[in-house]
Structure formats: C-alpha cells, structure tokens
Amino acid sequence: MNQVKQKQRQYMIIMVIILLVGFLGCMLSIALFVNLFGTEPTANEITIISVVISFFFVLMLSSLFFLIPYQKLAKSIERRNFFGYEKKPKTLTPDGAPFLIAQTTDDNLLLRDKILFEYIKMRNRYPLLFLGLIMFFLFVFGLGVVGAFVKIVSEDGSQDLLREKLPLFLSGLGALLLGALILAALILRQRAFNRSPEKAQVEAKIKDFIDGIKSAFEIPETSLDIDTITFSYKCIGKRKSKIYTTTGTPYHCLNFWYFVDKKHLYIADVVNKFQIPLTSIKSIEEITSYINFIGWNKSTSLKEFREFQKKHHVKSINGGFAAHYVIVTIDDPDHGIYQILLPSYEANAFSSLVEIPITKAVPRKQKLS
C-alpha cells in the first residue's frame, strides 16, 4: 500500500511539474515576443510565437493524461468494509479475507448445521412466537371493542342501546379472556421449554461445538466478546449493492471473539480467524449519529436493557436496533485500507484492547463502504 501511495505522489509531482513548465513557458514566450518584436510584428514572427505558445499549451494539457493512472491507483486504495460479505453460494469469508489465517473444517460446518437444525426442530415443538402473535391480536381487538362500547354507552346510556351493543361488549370481553388464557399457556409453554431435556441436550452440543472451535483456533479465555456490524452485498457490474433486511437496514450485529498478543489483533468466529498487525490499526473514530441494525447479543433483563439504552445511546426501532457507532480504520502496507464498524457501546473495550484512544467525529450520513 505504501508503494501505491508513493506512485500516486510521483504521478502528482509529474503532473504539477509539467503544468508549471507549460504555464511558465507560455508566459515567458509572450513576454519575450513583446520585448523582441514590439507591438507590430510581421506574419512570420506571429507564426513563430504561435507555434511556441501552442507547444507549451499542449504541454500543459498533456499533464492531464497522468490523471488516468492516478485515478486507477486511487481506486485501488478504496476503503473496504472488513466484514462485508459478498452474496455467493457457500461464501463464508468476508472482504477481510487477506487477513485470514485459519478456517474451520467442512466437518465442523456440517456439525454446526446439524446442531442448528436440531435447535430449530426443537423450537418448532414449542410455537411460542405463533401463540404470542395470536395473543397480541386478541388483546388489541378486545381492548378496541371494549373501548368502543364504553365510549358509546357513556355518550348515550339508554337501555335499548345497551341491549343492542351488549353482543359487541361480550365479543370484546371474550377476546380479552381468550388472550389471557393464551398468555397463561405461553408462560407454561416457556417454562416447559426451559426445563425440557431436549433443550439441555442441544445447549450441551452447542457448548461442546464452541469449545472445540476455541481450542482449534487457540482462542484464550481472556478473549472479549465484541459485537461487530456486518452486512451482505451483491455485485452489479463493478458496483456493490447492499442487501437490505425486512426491517429496512442492510446491517447485522454479530458477535466475534477479539484478543491480542504483542504484535497482532486477532478476530474470530466459529468459521474464520483473522490476524491484523497492531501497527496497521490507525484510528478509532466515534460517530455520534445512529446506524440501524438487527441482532442483539447482550444478555440483559428488560430493566437492564432500558438502563443500557440510556447509557449507550441505543434505541429499539423497526424490529431492530439503532446505536451510535465507531469506525476502526486499518491501513495495512500489504493489504490496503479497511473499516471495521462497532456499536459505540463496544468502543471502550476495543480501545483498551488495542491501546488506541477514541476520537470524536461530527455526525455523518450512513454512506459506509
């Protein structure tokens, strides 16, 4: 990367030199022409000076040809998002692949998929989400109907109207009672799910799988679990087009293990392990505007989550979350410039890990690489 920047500087210096030589040549030629030939030159003298001035003018224009290789070099050092995943079959490696030092085996991937299938199959036996949606609509319907009945009766409390609207009230009350019964069923179902032997078995398999990955990737117990913002994209020609979720954002919040040694930062999940020289991490810039994402990885109660929201500028929005974020800039001499996006609530942990201070930045629009 340093060689690329050096070539850029060389092209820029050449352009400036040619431009200055051409400009000075034009100016000197005009001044010399006026001094030598006065204000009434002959036709031959005009021809000579025109040729000279044209030569220097063309020389000035020729400097623009160096913009082509300069722009190509500029594109070659374009910032890339470390955790941008191109949407291809069996693509499990992000754009930060040049820093990849280890990958899990195909057998581990098959085992992961098998455990995930078992977990989904088990959850389907306890349809909590489906029952929850039914309960929600029943409560909304019941409250709406009962509220409408109370309003009508309060405005005109005649016995005839009361008898006429009584079925409306009873239907609303029935919906509320049915919703309450489903709520009780949900609570009992959740308790049964939490106590089921199947859940314990699947959780034990998940733990064994993760322990096996940690052992294979040599991830220490002191590693930090840090939320990281990722996204998927597809290539349309030379342009990257982010793939948006149903919540209206392309960004996902996934958990990675982060740890360091004396020279490197290591980032790993159950599929990949990356190694980044600490000297290549140039800055941690906090952006005080919001980025929307889906996925929540912090184990917090509802009360703790509300306190967490206030402290760390986190919002629940459109079925997902929004938070301030930080941009970690990596400028590596061999692999180029990359960005890692982290929610701002992870900024202090990451800053302490790599021993680089956090800098504040002005709010910006979400035009991220």
pLDDT value, residue 2:
46
Name the residue among 310, 357, 317, 325 with its Cα closest to residue 231: 325
pLDDT value, residue 73:
46
- What letters, b where the CB count within 10 A reaches 16 and e where it falls short, cover 269-299? bbbbbbebeeebbeebbbbeebbbbbeeeee
Tell how far CA 77 is from the center of its chain. 20
Question: Is 215 in a helix, a strand, or coil?
Answer: helix
Instruction: Give the CA angle between residues 350, 352, 356 to the nearest 5°.
Output: 85
Q: What is the CATH number of domain 80-101+220-361?
A: 2.30.29
pLDDT value, residue 366:
47
What's the rounded Cα separation, in Å, for the pair 350 and 327? 11
Tell how far CA 106 is from the center of its chain. 27
Strand partners, 226: 256
Are the C-beta atoms of residues 226 and 258 closer than 8 Å to each other? yes
**pLDDT string in tens for the chain (369-residue length):** 445 556 667 767 777 777 777 677 777 776 766 666 665 666 666 677 677 767 766 666 666 666 665 555 444 445 688 999 988 766 678 999 999 999 888 787 788 778 777 777 766 665 555 556 666 666 666 666 666 666 666 666 555 655 666 666 667 667 667 777 777 776 777 777 677 777 778 778 888 888 888 999 999 999 999 999 999 888 887 777 888 887 788 899 999 999 999 999 999 998 999 999 999 999 999 988 889 999 888 877 667 778 888 888 888 887 788 999 999 999 998 888 899 999 999 999 999 999 999 998 755 554 555
Name the residue among 110, 296, 275, 100 with its Cα closest to residue 209: 110
pLDDT value, residue 191:
75
pLDDT value, residue 113:
77
- What letters, b where the CB count within 10 A reaches 16 and e where it falls short, cover 135-159? beebbebbeebbeebeebeeeeeee
pLDDT value, residue 123:
65
Instruction: Sketch the domain layout of the chain as residue ranges.
Output: 2-76, 80-101+220-361, 127-195
What's the rounded Cα separation, in Å, for the pair 84 and 99? 14
The packing angle between helices 2-37 and 43-62, to 10°, is: 170
DSSP classification of residue 243: P
pLDDT value, residue 295:
87
DSSP 182-193: HHHHHHHHHHHH
Strand partners, 361: 287
What's the rounded Cα separation, in Å, for the pair 45 and 284? 64
Residue 73: in which H helix or E strand, if any? helix 67-76
Residues whose CB is less than 8 angstroms from the CB of residue 250 and which lie 6 or more positions away in sequence, other chains included: 231, 232, 233, 242, 243, 244
Residues whose CB is less than 8 angstroms from the CB of residue 322 and which lie 6 or more positions away in sequence, other chains included: 290, 291, 292, 293, 314, 315
What's the rounded Cα separation, in Å, for the pair 11 and 76? 15
pLDDT value, residue 268:
95
The packing angle between helices 159-195 and 128-155, to 10°, is: 160
